[in-house]
Amino acid sequence: MADERATVTCPDCGLEESFRKLADARSRIEDHREETGHDPTWELGRLSEGVERAGDEAGICGRSGCGDEESPLFRDDL
């Protein structure tokens, strides 16, 4: 799903689950902690992360040397 907002991962057992609601992810982490004593983590905002990366590659931040000229997203004719 492209609109997943949080991915819960557990390095102890390889758990990986994606959730569309942060609250669901949070309760999954708490449940998993209680059930197994593991220490799962979550990765938030997969979407915005992608957008941020695209922005970097397109040189949107405006600093010289910031854009990645190898990226198809890079345009110097803006």
Nearer to Zn ion, 36 or 48 (CB): 36
Altogether, the residues listed in the chain come to a count of: 78
| Residue 8 makes contact with Zn ion by CB under 5 A | no
Total of residues contacting Zn ion (CB under 5 A) = 6
Nearest to 2 by CA among 42, 50, 39, 38: 50
Instruction: Establish how many alpha carbons lie within 13 A of residue 56's alpha carbon, considering only the half-sphere containing its beta carbon.
Output: 6
- Three-state DSSP at 44 gives strand
Nearer to Zn ion, 7 or 71 (CB): 7
Residues 9-68 that bind Zn ion (CB under 5 A): 10, 12-13, 15, 36, 38
The contact set with Zn ion (CB under 5 A) reads 10, 12-13, 15, 36, 38
